[in-house]
Every structure is written in structure tokens, then in C-alpha cells.
Structure 1
């Protein structure tokens, strides 16, 4: 960034003032000895000195204003590499991701004046694939698909997706399954041989609910892939016996269906949860708090949980990512007003990231005193 210096030189013999833009000071030298291509000389006699001084001040103020403008333009130059608008990869319409992404684009527009749009994708697996090819500015992922993509395991089938970089923690997802109360289905084991909805192909629930059933020792009678809203309609119409997801609390689909139907809500528990975690250690046991839904006013619901993160392509500008992360934490209330799961957007939760962080994010978390493990520093 160019630095502009303005100097004023007073020559006592003729009350001359030299405004020197080249940064060189020539105190005590006769004016004819001063050589500068950008100097301006204003000479005043005793009779017009007062007027001259006023004019000199006007010129000096103009110099200062020009310098300030130049500096401000210099500071703005790095932003030329920033995106003029952004696309956030979420999941199908109706899920927590889509709602959450809407809040995030609002935050970017309100705080950084960068407009954005939410793209309906297949979910975390699909988002990892899109980020790998630099087709999204931001993408929402869960630990499982992101970790497997990075290491080339599971759904990645040997290919490593290592262009993704985490920037901040979003919230922890709770695996939740519900069925109409009249069906008698109350536990994961009751799903043996049943028709079960697990969301669209490529999403976290579609990837892991079948694996949960496998760890529990059975297969569902029929796995149905569709949007949360479509599956909910099928369940109401008797075409589906249970519907599952992995989302933040509360899952709005359950909240909505409870206004017209009695349901049972449950998740993997006991040995079913233990067997699954033994194979997929990036998951953990959790408890859906009592009172989350009408069906559990005075008891918690055992289940599994996994973290969600916002990721970007590794080529995103460092200063842009830093400002995004800073504004996200400074204005997290915008996210919380969109979905209360955003209360978990806290700097200390970054340590749960399944993949390395973007350098712009690393800078922010180090400034906040967060001790980052070596595994989160991109090599």
C-alpha cells in the first residue's frame, strides 16, 4: 500500500511554505536547493501573510484529505479478490440446513454487504463433493461425511476430498426417528422389517441410518429417500412407518406433526449406540433434553450426535475468511434468531472439526486464545 507523506517547510526570509509530497524534509535549506517534482510553493509578503496563511491551511487540509482518500483506497484493494456474492450449499428445502443457511446469508448481507443465495443440495456428502470442485463459496457438512471424504473412506471409496477447510462450528446434530404413536414403534429395534424414511441420498441421515441399523443387527424392510417434507406426508398417509433425520434441536418436522398427530420420538440407545460408536468414533452419545417435544415433557431421549461445520474451498482469500468468521461470532444473534441450535456457535467448539481449518480461521481462533491441535493446521 503506498504511503503518502506531506511536509510543510517554512523559510523565514520570505515566509515561503513548501508542501512536499515526496516525503523528503529540507529544513533550513534555501528553496532553490530543494529539488522535488511534486513540490508546491506559496510565497507571502508581510502585507498578505494572513491571507496567505489561510490559503496555505486550505491547501494543507486538501493534502491531508487526499492522503486519507489514497490510504483508504489502498486498504480497500485486497477486497478486490473477495466474492461479490456467495452461494451457500445447504440441503433440501425444509430441513435445518436450509433454514440455517438462510440465516447465514442474512448475516453476511447485514454485516459485510455481501448478498448470497442458498443452494438446495443433497446434503453434506454432496456438499463435500461440490466444495472439492470449488462450486460453492460455503458449504455445510457433518463430521462423518467430511472426515470420510478427507480420508477417502466410507462413501468416498478411496478418493480423498482434501480441498475442504473448516471455518467455524455450527451445531451438533441429533439422530432422531419418529413414528405415529398408534404404530407401537418406540425403539430402533422396532424398525426391523419396517419402511423407514432417511432423507435424500447424499445426506448424513441417508448415509448413517442404514449403518446404525446394521450395527444394531438388522436391516429395515424398505429404505425411502426423499425430502423431509415428502417423507412426513408419506408417514401421515400410511405409506411410511417411520421417518428419521440427524438435525439440530428441535427438528421442525416433529414439531409440526405433533400439532395434529401423537408420535413417539427415539434414537439409537444402549448397545445399539455402543456398537455404532465402536465403528464410527467421531459420533458420540447424547440426550435430547426433556420438553423438546410434546411427547417427552419430563424425560430425555437417548440418541447419537455429530457436529456440523461450515467449510470453504482452500483457495478462499485469507482476509475474507477471517472477516466472515469474525462477523459470524460477533453477530451470532442473527443466526440464533433463525434457529436456536446456533447457540452452539462458540469459538471453543472449533476443536471438534473433522478436517483442517482455513488459514483465515486459524488467525481468528488464535487471536481468541483457542489452543488448536496440530491436526487442525493445514499442512
Structure 2
């Protein structure tokens, strides 16, 4: 089986910046003294995505929560997003990460664009995060109010290379007849490029509210572009997404609910991590949803009731133990043996 080093990943994913964010908070609140910590790692890293996106905020905050509660040093790492995170966690370069079900299925089946033919089967699911809506924004001054009004040759920012957005959104827009010039970059950078007129449209696949968009609408007028009924139906039929509604309350200048599509996200772990360590991570995460929501409000969906939306990755035995102890059933076919 081929190996996939971090250097290879960094070269493959142009938008990835594999620079660890030094969030080495070691909490005073330790796990119970009765817990055997002899095989626990001294530190953990969570693979996130680019700055300005929800993954970065969610993942870095989650790393700090784990560090505070379990007494290990922890931090988030900037990456190219879900596709690269599957590779980093599979290889053991990082312990934990965040991914989306579409890229997860591709990686598990050996169809990752980063390493075609390599089945990344040493990745286990922990818990549901939230749905990733696919949404589109342009400046109000552009006059673009609908997908049909995106002009031929429009410069569209699709996020970091090989991210969920970059993997699926170009194909989605092509399916809808949009002719575009593809641009990649971190969300914060693309937001700045949109404001400066260097690109015409940004096509996001990220948890809402998207920090870069929230910042952008404070500085200038933003048009939020939705899918029509026919467009939504076509995309749901042709891609691994579901209908979704972005509430008007998501952004300060959004005055009506937006029709969109979405894909679920889950936290992931290297399957070789100790069972008790993973059990404690899931326990902290599932029993402190108020603190998870303080990290990012999308974590309101980070609850066991949404376990059903993972039909792809096996659950780590440590995660399964917590769910079963708390009355949540896991499909036996999705339990890592």
C-alpha cells in the first residue's frame, strides 16, 4: 500500500498550510484519577481547514475544550480541509480531524484526489458536527441576484484546493450551466478578493454562519444567492447532498430564508487511538454542548440524535462505548472491530 507523507500532502494541496497553531492550553481539570492514562498521547492536534472558515473556528475551539478537560496539550492545524484531513488522520500525522461525508466516502473507497487507489480505512467517526450548506455570495454592486445571472467567465472562488467546496461546487455549477473561471484560496483571502473586485462570486461549502461572510457584510453590501426549486431538485438528484434552508437569522443583512443544499460533517480520529482516550473525548464533547455552542453556534447540531447521518465511516470503539452507555444504538456494521 502506498504511503502518504505530510510533505506529499503539502505539495499536493496548494492551498494547505500545514503550520500547527500553537494552542497548547493544558487544563487544570483532569480526567478522573481512576482512569488509566498510561497509553494516552501527551498532546493532540485537530486537522481543521483554512482561516476564515467554520472548520478552523470549530476545530481549534474543540481542541482547546479537550485540552482543558482532559489535561493534554492540544491545538488546531490549518489544512486544506476535509479531503486532506482524511489523509492526515489515516496516516497518523494528526490524531483528530473534521471531515464531510462526501470526501470521507471517496477516501474510504480509494477515490481521494490526493492519493487515488489508497483506501484510507484507518479513520474512525466520533460524533456529528453539523450540516454544511452550499451557498453563494456576490457583492450587491455586481447585480448578480441568482445563479442564472452569473455571467459567462465569472471568476468564482471555491475555497482551498481539494476542500469539500472545491470538490463538489464546481461540478454543481457546471451541472447548472454556469461557465466560470476557477479560483482557489482560503476563505478569508477569497472574501478580501471579492471585496477588492479580484473575483466575482464566492461559492461556499462551510458551516454557517461563515466567518468570512459575516465580516464581509459588515464592510460592504452582499447578495446571498439561492438555488431555485428546479435547481435544488436537480442537484439533490445528481449529488450526495440534501435540501437545506439557510435561516434569515444567519446573517445580519439576510432578509429571507435561503434555499440551498447541504452535506453532513463528522469529527474523526485515527482508529489506533486508545479506547479510553477516545471515550473521554466523546464524553466531554457530548456532555458539554453548551460549551461546544460557545465555540460555534453550528454545534447545536453536534448531538447524538444526528448519528444516523453517518453511513460511511466506522465508529471508534471508544465512541461506541459512550453511546451505548447513554442509550444510543450504533449499527453493528459501523462499529470498528
Residue 188 of structure 2 corresponds to 229
CA distance in 1, matches of 2:55, 2:37: 28
Q: Indicate the SS of the match to 2:87.
A: helix
Q: Within 5 Å, which residues of 2 pair with 1:221-300?
A: 222-281=181-240, 283-297=241-255, 299-300=256-257
Residue 326 of structure 1 corresponds to 283
Residue 304 of structure 2 corresponds to 347
CA distance in 2, matches of 1:271, 1:152: 33
| TM-score, normalised by the number of residues in structure 2 | 0.85
**Which of 316, 321, 325 is the aligned partner of 1:367?**
325
| TM-score, normalised by the number of residues in structure 1 | 0.76
CA contact (8 A) 1:210 1:219 kept: no
Give unmatched runs, 5+ long, in structure 2: 1-31
Residue 86 of structure 1 corresponds to 44
Q: Indicate the SS of the match to 1:258.
A: helix
**Which of 146, 156, 162 is the aligned partner of 1:202?**
162
Over the residues paired in the alignment, what is the CA RMSD in angstroms? 1.8
Q: Within 5 Å, which residues of 2 pair with 1:48-67?
A: none
What is the CA deviation profile of residues 273-309 of structure 1, one whole-angstrom value per residue up to 9, with x for unaligned ones?
A: 322222323x101000123223322x21000111111
CA contact (8 A) 1:265 1:295 kept: no
What is the CA deviation profile of residues 106-141 of structure 1, one whole-angstrom value per residue up to 9, with x for unaligned ones?
A: 211221111101110010001011112111110110
259-268 vs 351-360, greater mean Cα deviation: 259-268
CA distance in 2, matches of 1:113, 1:295: 41
Q: Indicate the SS of the match to 1:185.
A: coil
Cα displacement (A) at 1:320: 0.8
Residue 145 of structure 1 corresponds to 103
Q: Indicate the SS of the match to 1:171.
A: strand
**Which of 148, 171, 180 is the aligned partner of 2:130?**
171
CA distance in 1, matches of 2:287, 2:146: 41
CA distance in 2, matches of 1:316, 1:188: 45
Higher relative contact order (CA 8 A, sep 6+): 2
Large movers: runs of 4+ above 6 Å: none
What is the CA deviation profile of residues 67-115 of structure 1, one whole-angstrom value per residue up to 9, with x for unaligned ones?
A: xxxxx98x55x31111111011001122111111121122112211111
Cα displacement (A) at 1:154: 6.2
CA distance in 2, matches of 1:151, 1:219: 30
CA contact (8 A) 2:157 2:199 kept: yes
Residue 41 of structure 1 corresponds to none
CA distance in 2, matches of 1:142, 1:265: 23
How many residues align structurally? 303
Structure index of larger Rg? 1
